[in-house]
Amino acid sequence: MPGMNVLAACFLIAAQTYSIPPAVLLGVYQVEGGTIGQAVGPNKNGTFDLGPMQINTSWIPLLADEWNVNYSTAKSWIRDDPCTNVGVAAWILRRNLNETGDLARSIANYHSRTPHLGSPYKSKVVRSMQRNGLLKTEE
């Protein structure tokens, strides 16, 4: 794993590139808890979740096309390169935010567009952010 300073730089660059609050990216990272090179699954729909931000393999065809590489190359970049993984997570959050106009919904949709699955996920991210001092709790 790269040094924490390198990973921190990846988070800041991704957050700035896609205009996503760095605290949100860190909150998602804390909840996902993935590691570099990791593939978790299969999920119920046959997909896998890759790397630190647990990027679902359903994104790979679109990303491979965007990057003009084959599926296998895109998959290895997402799974094995932490900066690519975090960048893709920020890109997904930005796409969700552009679509919904709502940061809370974009966090929920990062996990699932099905409300009864996405909403509890969003709550987990918010609680993690609060626990780690990334989000102030109103008293």
Where are the strands (E) in the chain, listed by range?
39-40, 49-50, 55-56
Note the pLDDT tens digit of each residue in 24-78: 999 999 999 999 999 999 999 999 999 999 999 999 999 999 999 999 999 999 9
In single-letter form, the type of residue at position 60 comes to I
Residue 19 structure tokens: 């205009």
pLDDT value for 139:
55
* Of 72, 77, 4, the residue nearest 37 (C-alpha): 77
pTM for this one? 0.93
Residue 84 structure tokens: 């690519």
What does pLDDT average to over the chain? 94
In single-letter form, the type of residue at position 34 comes to G
CA distance 70 to 9: 27
Which domains does the chain possess? 4-131 (1.10.530.10)
Q: Average pLDDT in the 15-20 region? A: 98
Residue 65 structure tokens: 């096309």
CA distance 35 to 50: 8
